[in-house]
Amino acid sequence: MNPFDGSSRATGKSRGMKLIFEKHRDGRRGFSYGLSDVSGTKPLAGKYCRATEARLPCLSELDVVRHYTNLSRLNFSVDTNFYPLGSCTMKYNPKFTERIAAFEGFLQLHPLLPQLSGGGMLAQGSLEVLYESEKLLAEITGMSAFTLQPLAGAHGELTGVMLIAAYHKDQGLRRKYIIVPDSSHGTNPSSAAIAGYKVKVIPTGADGYMDLEQYKKQLNNEVAAVMLTCPNTLGIFNPKIKEITDLAHNVGALMYYDGANLNAIMGKCRPGDIGFDVVHLNLHKTFATPHGGGGPGAGPVGVSKKLVEFLPISRIIRRADATFALDYNHPKSIGYIAPFYGNFGVILKAYAYILALGKEGLIKVAEIAVLNANYCQARLKEYYDLPFDKTCMHECVFSASRQAKNGVHALDIAKYLIDQGYHPPTIYFPLIVKEALMIEPTETESKESLDDFIDTMIKIAELAKNNPSVVTQAPLNMPIKRLDEVRAARQPDLRWKP
Amino acid sequence: MNIPKNIFYTKDHEWARIEGKIAYVGITDYAVHSLGDITFVELPKIGKELKQSAYCATVESVKAASDVFAPLSGKVLTVNTQLVTNPELINQSAYEKGYFFSMEFSNEAEKANLMDAASYQKYVEGISK
Amino acid sequence: MNYIPHTPEDIKQMLSTIGVKSIDELFKDIPVTLRPKSFNLPASKSEFQVTQTLRKLAAKNATGLVNFVGAGFYDHFIPAAVDALTSRSEFYTAYTPYQPECSLGWLQAIYEYQSIICELTGLDVSNASLYDGGTALFEAMMMAVRHTGRNKIILDSGVNLIYRTMLYTYTSNLSIEFVEIPVVHGQSCREELFKFLDDKTAAVIFQNPNFFGAVDDHSDMVERVHKFGALAIASVYPVSLGMLKTPGEMGFDIATGEGQSLGIPLSFGGPYLGFMAARSQLVRQMPGRIVGATVDSDGKRGFVLTLQTREQHIRREKATSNICSNEALCALRAAVFMSLLGREGFKELAEHNYQKAEFAKEILSRINGVQVKRSSPTFNEFTVFLPRHADEVVHRMIDKGFACGFPLGRFYKGMDNYLLIAVTEKRTKEEIRRLADSLEAVL
């Protein structure tokens, strides 16, 4: 069985891969549970049983292995390609953390064990990992305490906004609004809305920073919080961040720090020291846990002193005898935001990563991430418009407006890069930059890999000038050409049907 | 840019064709071009009371979603159900087959808030600069 | 160790290209007054040192207990091929498939996952995954609130208390009115439901099997729910769907659940997998990524993320959900797991679970003073009444090498003597017999 239907991937002439359902053969088995050692039990009454069979594919184990192995080969990944996807921090994920996460003692542990009477000592190793991780993250960010429960960055945002709501409610104030800049990640306004707030959007000024005058106008005692990403999604650090924070605090609003871009500032400044009240981190970004094709991530939330009592339960405590325990005695807690203690497997990998890098290693991460981004910016700014021309942090944002005049749009550049073996930068985000190309190289990429990428980008800029159709036709070297997204949206085909 | 003469326009790029007490409503050629291929519309329910300039429908392309605002106040009479299965009608015929709904408008005076073709033409040229 | 490839010479050249003298200069926008007040972290360690440290911590966890604890999270066997395939780094070091031409493998795998979830639940459409069963249930509830424009939710108290608590937490700043209906003799109380059901109700939420392990056919209740224009939502245990009537067959509008039992290790609570399936008319209310099939310019089949106008990166504060990254790698584990099992394997898995639990019920009911609750049929988990406080029994059983079940008194008032026991395909006849013997000894 050839997954590419008789032609090689290199030529890109295949007819596409069959669905696993299309490889089904009645009677084929990929796995068997063998004979049950229990028999003769009375079957469940028919009225409770499904009448129609789940039409799962039936294949041999090799069929399944070959199918998914070949599917994997159709992906770009950090381990196979440079992946400068802005805002996503696609750094190298060290392999040793995978081995640690697979230790039997961690992998097989039922989350309810420490909640059983007499079960307190059954999960001491995992509880210690969680306790120590909270302490390390608190020191890295300058916050008073952390919860590791949030299961992704956006989930952390929602948790953070709920903490803010609980705080204001406790103060006897119902506040209505959350302020976000127009450069924010879409998750910020969305998280605010889902937690029951109205959103006020502040425009970005010509300097790339949130417009301070507009901000002052919108800020009043009905504002619950201000959500900021710093450095922002343009990759620049606002030197007036402290002023913004103080202004918010003056009207009783809290400051929320979107930690998506923490990679840029580790050891260089801490949200807690600036005066932020709530911080979420993306462990899969800053702390190198694999992104897994879209997750799982982990989105721990840190808070300043005045919000600690509202953190979700359970909390993890260290007792006088150096053992660890779950603590539910927090009457002002917002409650459960996840079933247990967070995405433990992800937290564990991040913990191992932090231990390996240590203080100096984490500082170096920020330094080299910023060096790499500025190097890309410096070498490319002659060829692409740079809407905010200043020292960037961990990522730089170009505009393909100049190329677009010749019909070569950010999307075309992305597709040409794919043909050349590069995962494209983030395109069309932030929304405030026309034809945006958001490049985040990360610290684990060498000068050689940056140079190769930059040379390709320069070549694209030249082609856009002299031979644009070469770019707009791309990709030509991949198993498929550009896909009809309009058709996908007009006539949704979301599942296999026989 | 197609801007027919006999109908009225809003700043949010809706149009209204008025026939007696009834207005037919849709989005303009300019709106259609900035959205690209339309993939989906959400229409108001028949009988719904609309307010001038308030939300009344949604129109979507692959990468954008846009609110549509009522050009006049009044009650929805009919909706163009063809758009549910064939949203491309809006791309093909923004002012005819691609209309969204018809309404019985309630306040003649509100017509003063709308633009005629010439003013809309100028308005669009202003934005395009 | 820091995984940074730069040589001192590289750094020198790069700084000169940028036109600065030092790396410090690149951080000039961060005012001196905002530099860290402290950054007191341990020194770097070698891979070997970190591995040893964590190996020791792993060894502090209990691994030898024979496990009969379920309560929504189950100890199932995972075929080796699941680990082998999902640990291919072309899967696990990729990200959200925004660019289809270089993410085709992921897109197709998610499309297959969505199809499998539809087959399991008997519903029309599925998304690409959510965080876990609890957040999936919250998202389903919000779909119903938006779809109906109503805000009253009727919640069966047989829904896992962990999930009910999550729903209350998430809605504490919203105006949602909850009514909980009791479980009587293990089953959802029809009378109470019909009393509270009205045309203000957005949704009714059930769990099957419910938290006590009881299996029900909700068809009659779902029909009534629909008469009032409300939606019916089921939280389901996917392994049970190898045997039980599906949410689709019972008429449910949305099904969600915890997908951990489909090839995902217990791993102390995560990462897990929230799955969601719904009727096709609700697809535009769904949260999260959805993959759709389409064609390329040569007419060849391919896959893309579609219906994205629902999502936060486009619709921002008006999005159906704030979810961005999901649990794709766990969804892939589920897809591989289900593909390996196939139709026969999936039925076999459900049968083994059912049979072993029935056997355990039989054996345990012979113990003096132990009552196995039999008012409702069960799947692989059931409730027993003990002659003494279940906490005490659980504690003593740990010393005998068993995690013997979940004491219901922790979640339900007046149920201190009740124990919830789960029996998966991994438990042998011999282990079940030993469980019974030890239980008899500690009572």
CA distance C117 to C286: 15
Q: Which of A17, A18, A33, A287 to mutate against chain C (most C CBs within 10 Å)?
A: A33
Please report whether residue C40 resides in a domain.
Answer: no
Please report whether residue C135 resides in a domain.
Answer: yes
pLDDT at B129: 64
Give residues 20 to 39 of B whose Cβ lies within 8 Å of C.
39
Domain residue extents for chain A: 96-356, 365-488
The answer to whether B88 faces chain C, any CB pair under 8 Å, is: no
Please report whether residue C39 resides in a domain.
Answer: no
Average pLDDT per block of 10 residues along chain A, 498 residues long = 36 66 96 93 96 97 98 97 97 98 96 93 97 98 98 97 97 94 95 95 96 97 97 96 98 97 97 98 97 97 98 97 96 97 98 98 98 98 97 97 97 98 96 96 98 98 97 96 96 96
Q: How far is C37 from chain A (nearest CA, A)?
A: 7
Residues C244 and C294 in one domain: yes
Per the DSSP assignment, residues forming a β-bridge with A49 are C244
Contact B39/A486, CB-based, under 8 Å?
yes
Residues C317 and C356 in one domain: no
Q: How far is C305 from chain B (nearest CA, A)?
A: 10
Please report whether residue C239 resides in a domain.
Answer: yes
Token pair for A281: 């981190």
Please report whether residue C176 resides in a domain.
Answer: yes
Residues C364 and C245 in one domain: no
Token pair for C154: 């009727």
Average pLDDT for B55-65: 93
- Residues of chain A contacting B62 with CB distance shorter than 8 Å: 485-486, 488-489
Query: What chain A residue is nearest to B62 in terms of C-alpha separation?
Result: A486
Contact B87/A490, CB-based, under 8 Å?
yes
Per the DSSP assignment, residues forming a β-bridge with B115 are B9
Number of domains in chain C: 2
Dihedral over Cα of A458, A459, A463, A468: its sign: negative
Query: What chain B residue is nearest to C305 in terms of C-alpha separation?
Result: B62
Cα A44 to chain center, whole Å?
44
Contact C30/A268, CB-based, under 8 Å?
yes
Contact A490/B88, CB-based, under 8 Å?
yes
Residues C105 and C177 in one domain: yes
Per the DSSP assignment, residues forming a β-bridge with C234 are C206, C255
Enclosing domain of residue C152 = 80-337
Please report whether residue C230 resides in a domain.
Answer: yes
The alpha-helical segments, DSSP class H, found in B52-106 are: 82-85, 88-92
- Quick check: A196 and C169 in contact, CB under 8 A? no
Phi-psi region of C269 (alpha: psi -120 to 50; beta: other; left: phi over 0): left
pLDDT at A323: 96
Residues C285 and C362 in one domain: no
CA distance C14 to C74: 53
Token pair for B54: 């308030």
Each of the 443 residues of chain C gets a pLDDT tens digit; together they read 889 999 999 999 999 999 999 999 999 999 999 999 999 999 999 999 999 999 999 999 998 899 999 999 999 999 999 999 999 999 999 999 999 999 999 999 999 999 999 999 999 999 999 999 999 999 999 999 999 999 999 999 999 999 999 999 999 999 999 999 999 988 999 999 999 999 999 999 999 999 999 999 999 999 999 999 999 999 999 999 999 999 999 999 999 999 999 999 999 999 999 999 999 999 999 999 999 999 999 999 999 999 999 999 988 998 999 999 899 999 999 999 999 999 999 999 999 999 999 999 999 999 999 999 999 999 999 999 999 999 999 999 999 999 999 999 999 999 999 999 999 999 999 999 999 999 999 99
pLDDT at A12: 38
Could you tell me which of A338, A410, A373, A399 has the C-alpha nearest to residue A151? Answer: A338
Residues C329 and C349 in one domain: no
pLDDT at A231: 96
CA distance C205 to C234: 6
Q: Return the CATH number of A96-356, one of 2.40.10.340, 1.10.150.130, 3.20.20.60, 3.40.640.10.
A: 3.40.640.10
- Residues of chain A contacting C102 with CB distance shorter than 8 Å: 74-76, 81, 418, 423, 478
CB pairs under 8 A between A and B: 15
For A230-310, where are the E strands, in sequence order?
Answer: 254-259, 278-281, 301-303
Could you tell me which of A162, A146, A195, A135 has the C-alpha nearest to residue A336? Answer: A162
Residues C279 and C379 in one domain: no
- Residues of chain A contacting B40 with CB distance shorter than 8 Å: 489-490
Q: Which chains touch B (3 or more CB pairs under 8 A)?
A: A, C
Residue that terminates a domain, selected from C301, C322, C337 = C337
Neighbours of B17 (CB within 10 A): 18
CA distance C322 to A26: 42
Contact B60/C309, CB-based, under 8 Å?
yes
Question: Looking at the domain A365-488, which fold is it?
Answer: Aspartate Aminotransferase, domain 1 (3.90.1150)
Query: What chain C residue is nearest to A272 in terms of C-alpha separation?
Result: C36
Residues C242 and C272 in one domain: yes
- Quick check: helix, strand or coil at residue C36? coil
Please report whether residue C9 resides in a domain.
Answer: no
pLDDT at A15: 55
Query: What chain A residue is nearest to B88 in terms of C-alpha separation?
Result: A490
pTM (global) more than 0.80: yes
Q: What are phi and psi of A450, to 5 degrees?
A: -65, -45
Q: Across the interface, which of C41, C114, C318 has its CB nearest the CB of A494? A: C114
Cα C138 to chain center, whole Å?
12
What is the residue-wise DSSP string for A79-136? TTS---BTTS------THHHHHHT-HHHHT--TTGGGSTT-TTTBHHHHHHHHHHHHH
pLDDT at A10: 37
Contact A492/C292, CB-based, under 8 Å?
yes
Q: Which H helix or E strand runs over A393?
A: none
Q: Write out pLDDT tens, residues B105-125.
A: 999 999 999 999 999 999 999
Residues C271 and C412 in one domain: no
- Quick check: C215 and C381 in contact, CB under 8 A? no
- Quick check: helix, strand or coil at residue B13? coil
Q: Across the interface, which of B39, B40, B63 has its CB nearest the CB of C314? A: B63
Q: Across the interface, which of A166, A484, A496 has its CB nearest the CB of C115? A: A496
CA distance B83 to C10: 59
At C247, which CATH number? 3.40.640.10
Q: Which of B61, B62, B67 to mutate against chain C (most C CBs within 10 Å)?
A: B62
Please report whether residue C390 resides in a domain.
Answer: yes
- Residues of chain C contacting B39 with CB distance shorter than 8 Å: 309
Contact A490/B40, CB-based, under 8 Å?
yes
Contact B40/C284, CB-based, under 8 Å?
yes
pLDDT at A39: 86
CA distance C279 to C290: 14
Residue that terminates a domain, selected from C302, C337, C372 = C337
- Quick check: C272 and C132 in contact, CB under 8 A? yes
pLDDT at B63: 86
- Quick check: A153 and A260 in contact, CB under 8 A? yes
CB-based burial label for C205 (10 Å; 0-12, 13-18, 19+): buried
- Quick check: A152 and C326 in contact, CB under 8 A? yes
Do domains A96-356 and A365-488 share one topology? The answer is no
Unique residue bearing structure tokens 């005012």: C31
At C353, which CATH number? 3.90.1150.10
Residues C107 and C161 in one domain: yes
Residues C188 and C91 in one domain: yes
Q: Across the interface, which of C91, C168, C322 has its CB nearest the CB of A335? A: C168
Sequence-distant contacts of C7-11: CB under 8 A, at least 24 apart: C10/A446, C10/A447, C11/A371
Q: What are phi and psi of C349, to 5 degrees?
A: -60, -50
Question: Which DSSP category does A49 fall into?
Answer: B
- Residues of chain A contacting C344 with CB distance shorter than 8 Å: 29, 32, 58
Contact C425/A33, CB-based, under 8 Å?
yes
Residues C86 and C192 in one domain: yes
Q: Strands B55-61, A436-439: parallel, antiparallel or unpaired by DSSP?
A: unpaired
What is the residue-wise DSSP string for A442-456? -TTS-HHHHHHHHHH
CB-based burial label for B125 (10 Å; 0-12, 13-18, 19+): exposed
Neighbours of C297 (CB within 10 A): 11
Q: Cα separations (Å) of B25 from B41, B93, B124?
A: 13, 13, 19
Query: What chain B residue is nearest to C314 in terms of C-alpha separation?
Result: B64
